[in-house]
Every structure is written in structure tokens, then in C-alpha cells.
Amino acid sequence: MSSHLELRLGDCIAGMGALDAGSIDLVVTSPPYNLAIRYLSYADDQSREDYLAWSRQWLAGLRRVLAPAGSFFLNVGASPRSPLLPHQLALVASEFFTLQNTIHWIKSIAVDRPGQETFSVGHYKPINSPRFLNELQEYVFHFTLEGNVPLDRLALGVPYQDKSNIARWQHTRKKDRRCRGNVWFLPYQTIRSRQKERPHPATFPPELARQAILLHGRDRVRHMLDPFVGIGSSALAARAEGIEQFTGFEIDEGYLEVAKERLSELL
């Protein structure tokens, strides 16, 4: 199935105002975190009050366009200087939506195995501090209008480790598939040049958006939106899954050109 992807240069608040009410089935996005990240065309250092006031504006616009059975996946990270930011933004979002699930996106993890060396996998940015731990995860808050949207949980299902559970539990319906749960290990791909391959300072991998598509229910997504499309990770996922229509907004022309180049590589 071919997809119609529209990447628009401009502010998402005005852009969403031009969309029909209730026309969006799925939103996957990651707004600026207000952590003084060096974007090309955005000052990421507002006061917390101003940032949350601005967030209310775009969240209100998103609330208007989200379909009654739609899903809104909000990716937010933290830093040692602002550990409460994800939760503060989630509380503001809960003024407009109902929090249905909280997903933990794990970028790197160390696994202790009895009698074996600790196994570490994934990528992270180390913190040079005697006070704080390295940040190895971010939040993905799943919002809906009323908190009652059914999900295709087994679209992300994993096999049972203990196969006896297949026959023991009635809900398995004798299939070797269980809900993955709310912890997603999604490492970044190894890159040689950040400037060439991932020039945006804060982006999620396309696989995160793809899993959101599958969890919501691929066949129930006709129109997908990313108000902060950046270099196009969500658009890449939409194209890969054959989403009928995708709309993304971005205020920086440079990032938008990178997004278009990434999409052209899939043709």
C-alpha cells in the first residue's frame, strides 16, 4: 500500500488548526524537552512556566484533532537537572487526555547472569558526575481521550520462555505469544557520523514509532500525525507500515530537508 506523506514547514499549533477535528487516528511525537538542547531554530531554554504554558497550547490543538478512538504516544526524556520534567509534561497532557499506559523506552541495559560476565548492550550518553546515574531510558506516555482504546497487544508479542504456560493459562488460547509489556528495549543503530546520519540532537529511532503503530492497531490507522517531526523518524515508520496518510510539522527547514532525504532513500 502506498502512503501519502506530507511534511510541512511551519509551527504545529497553526498547522493543527487547519486539520479537521477528530481526523487523526495516531500521534507519535517527541516535543522539545526544554533542557537547553542546541536545536537549529528553537530556543530550548524557556522558563518552566512558559514551557508548560506553550505545551498547553499545542496539546489543546492535538486534543481537537485526535479521533475518539485515537492514540497519542508522547516521548519525553529527563536530565539530572530536570528529573521531574517528563512527569510535569504528562500532568499537563492529562488536562486534555487520559493516561492509558506508561512505556519505558530502554536505550541500554546491563544484564547480570549467574556464573557469567555481566552482559551490556545498547547506546547511551554517559554522565560525568559523582551524584547522578547515567540516563538509560526515556518515557513514552500513551494517552487516549477516555482511557478505553483497545490495543493489538500481541502485535508486539513475544514467545513464552516457559512453554508450559501456553497450556496452563486460558488467555493464551494455546498460542506461544504473550504481551511484551511496557518496557521496550530499542537501542539506536550504530552510526559513524552523527552530523551526517543523525544531525538532530534529540530524536527517537523509527522502530519506536513503528511499535506504536502496531500496538495501536495498524489497520485502524488511516491518518497519522507528528507535530514535531524533526528529521522524520515517525514518517519513516509510517511509510514502512504503509500508513495511508501522514502529516508532520517542523519549524526548521534544515531538519525538514534531512527528513525528506531519509524518506527518499526508502523509494
- Give the chain's mean pLDDT: 88
pLDDT of residue 267: 64
| Residue 165, pLDDT score | 66
Helices 233-240 and 253-264, axial angle in degrees (round to 10): 20
pLDDT category, 47, cuts 50, 70, 90? Answer: confident
Give the whole-number percent of the chain exceeding pLDDT 70.
86
Nearest alpha-carbon partner for 141 in 192, 90, 190, 92: 90
pLDDT for res 62: 98
pLDDT tens digits for range 121-162:
998 888 889 999 999 999 999 999 999 999 999 999 888 777
Residue 256 makes CB contacts below 8 A (sequence gap 6+) with: 7, 9, 229, 250
Q: What is the pLDDT of residues 195-234, one digit of tens each?
A: 554 444 458 999 999 999 999 999 999 999 999 999 999 9
Residue 123: predicted pLDDT: 84
pLDDT at position 79, please?
85
CB distance 247 to 9 below 8 Å:
no
Say which DSSP state 38 is in: B
Judge contact between 151 and 216, C-beta under 8 A: yes
Q: Give the model's pLDDT for residue 81.
A: 84
Q: Could you give the dihedral angle defined by the CA atoms of residues 32, 23, 222 and 139, in that order, rounded to the nearest 10 degrees?
A: 30
Alpha helices for 94-232 (secondary structure H): 164-168, 194-197, 206-216
The 10s digit of each residue's pLDDT in 171-201 is: 666 677 888 999 999 988 654 444 554 444 4
Q: Higher confidence at residue 176 or residue 68?
A: 68
Q: What pLDDT is attached to residue 192?
A: 47
Which of 230-255 are b and which e, b meaning 16 or more Cβ less than 10 Å from the residue's Cβ? Answer: bbbbbbbbbbebebebbbbbbbbeeb
Q: Look at residue 15 and tell me whether its pLDDT is greater than 60.
A: yes
Does the pLDDT at position 245 exceed 50?
A: yes
Query: Which of 13-17, 72-76, 123-127, 203-207 is predicted with the least confidence, judged by mean pLDDT?
Result: 123-127
Q: Is the pTM of this model over 0.85?
A: yes
Give 138's strand partners.
105
pLDDT of residue 159: 87
pLDDT of residue 124: 83
Predicted confidence at residue 160, as pLDDT, reads 79
